[in-house]
């Protein structure tokens, strides 16, 4: 009888650690060192020739960070994982490693503003051309592919409208034309969607969010096959955007409760989204778990849960939306997502206040758009808080 693979919680707790401990400690220690010594020259030669696997210098690896990388790989069903200093560092390092000078990149319009900024301000200096398409439109994706297209990069779900990409179909189209598919799965987490299983070549995370889960660290991650990871790992050694052992330790601790936390995030967000959709002061709600979401059927097919972020528009103006946000008592007004504490923000102020109204409109950012990242508080308390805050609108 074939043995079933371990479940999400078992992999989250034990993955990458139990069989790799250098001591009898249950918890992987913090290896607080920048460099590692060799007992003799023969040992160093064996290391340089690939006959010995061990650490040499902190920029190339650390036992604490390697434990995180192994756990990430197990959670995502990947051959290898790579830990970096932040989610943005993961994205920028990947772009620099995989895009040749003068190459072509395809991205979706609904994405994190700093990713868009890096593409517009820095990749252009390398002669990289970028085509922006609407999310979840595979016809436009197929039409956008050129002979020099190297990568398709998208979030799934996207930020802030939570569009869900049909990864199997996207990968089919891309691979037929020699294009790699990179999915930023931060909003999903490996508990809700394993994009590699659906054909993606590489997956990245802002590990600051759900993976860490406690708003107390910065980290990023890339996972994939050994072949696809090799140039990204090499680039990290050159560019130097590595995580430190203390952050890796916090991330290890946070990841052990990932599956449990995601159950509550998923449940809270679905209940909040359904409640908001029935409220007379809410114009529209975007949440993949709702029938009204444009990608609901894709999300049901690919995802085991729909995440903890709910985006909605209030039937009001900028001042009314501000009164609502200011009246909330449980969530903190803050950027980010994925922690145990609920967070709330208005993208127009938090991320796009320096843009003109016309620029915001082009990006789909309205004055009354709210992004609510549900924590793990009691859903009844979150809904009651939203209810009293909407009375101020």
pLDDT, tens digit, for every residue of 213-266?
Answer: 999 999 999 999 999 999 999 999 999 999 999 999 999 999 999 999 999 999
Domains by residue range for the chain, with CATH: 8-30+61-255 (3.40.640.10), 258-390 (3.90.1150.10)
For residue 220, which of 105, 82, 314, 354 has the smallest C-alpha distance? Answer: 82
Report pLDDT for 44: 96
Q: Which residue has 């529209």 as its token pair?
A: 284
Q: What is the pTM of this model?
A: 0.94
- What is the arrangement of strands in the sheet containing 332-333, beginning at the earlier edge strand? 282-286, 309-314, 369-373, 343-345, 332-333
Query: Which residue spans within 169-290 are E strands per DSSP?
Result: 180-184, 202-206, 220-224, 282-286
User: What pLDDT score does 22 carry?
Assistant: 67
CB of 352 closer than 8 Å to CB of 113: yes
Q: Among residues 259, 180, 250, 253, which one has the least CA distance to residue 222?
A: 180
pLDDT along the chain (393 residues), means of 10: 78 81 80 94 96 93 95 97 98 98 95 91 96 92 97 97 97 98 98 98 98 97 98 96 96 97 98 98 98 98 98 97 98 97 96 88 90 98 98 95
3-state helix/strand/coil string of 101-152: CCCEEEEECCCCHHHHHHHHHCHHHHCCEEEEECCCCHHHHHHHCCCCEEEE
The catalytic residue positions are 59, 112, 184, 209
């Amino acid at each position: 009888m074939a043995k079933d693979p371990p479940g999400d919680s078992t992999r989250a707790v034990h993955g990458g650690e139990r069989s790799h401990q250098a001591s009898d400690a249950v918890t992987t220690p913090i290896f607080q060192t920048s460099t590692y010594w060799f007992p003799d020259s023969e040992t160093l030669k064996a290391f340089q020739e690939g006959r010995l696997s061990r650490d040499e210098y902190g920029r190339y690896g650390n036992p604490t960070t390697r434990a995180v990388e192994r756990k990430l790989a197990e959670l995502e069903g990947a051959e290898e994982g790579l830990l970096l200093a932040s989610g943005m560092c993961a994205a920028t390092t990947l772009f620099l490693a995989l895009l040749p000078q003068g190459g072509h990149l395809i991205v979706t319009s609904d994405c994190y503003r700093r990713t868009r900024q890096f593409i517009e301000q820095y990749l252009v200096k390398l002669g990289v051309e970028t085509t922006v398409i609407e999310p979840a439109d595979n016809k436009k994706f197929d039409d956008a592919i050129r002979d020099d297209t190297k990568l398709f990069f998208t979030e799934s779900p996207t930020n802030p409208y939570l569009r869900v990409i049909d990864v199997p179909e996207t990968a089919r189209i891309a691979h037929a034309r020699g294009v790699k598919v990179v999915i930023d799965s931060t909003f999903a987490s490996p508990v809700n969607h394993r994009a590699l299983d659906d054909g993606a070549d590489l997956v990245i995370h802002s590990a600051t969010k759900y993976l860490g889960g406690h708003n107390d660290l910065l980290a990023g991650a890339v996972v994939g096959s050994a072949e696809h990871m090799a140039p990204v790992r090499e680039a990290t050694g050159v560019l130097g955007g590595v995580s430190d052992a203390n952050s890796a330790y916090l991330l290890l601790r946070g990841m052990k409760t990932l599956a449990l936390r995601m159950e509550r995030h998923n449940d809270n967000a679905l209940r909040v989204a359904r409640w908001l959709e029935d409220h007379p002061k809410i114009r529209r709600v975007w949440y993949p778990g709702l029938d009204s979401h444009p990608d609901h059927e894709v999300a049901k097919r690919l995802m085991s849960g729909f995440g903890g972020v709910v985006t909605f528009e209030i039937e009001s103006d900028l001042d009314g939306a501000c009164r609502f946000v200011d009246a909330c008592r449980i969530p903190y007004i803050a950027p980010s997502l994925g922690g145990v504490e609920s967070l709330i923000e208005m993208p127009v102020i938090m991320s796009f206040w320096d843009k003109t109204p016309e620029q915001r409109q082009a990006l789909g950012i309205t004055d009354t758009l709210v992004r609510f990242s549900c924590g793990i508080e009691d859903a009844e308390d979150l809904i009651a808080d939203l209810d009293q805050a909407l009375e101020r609108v």
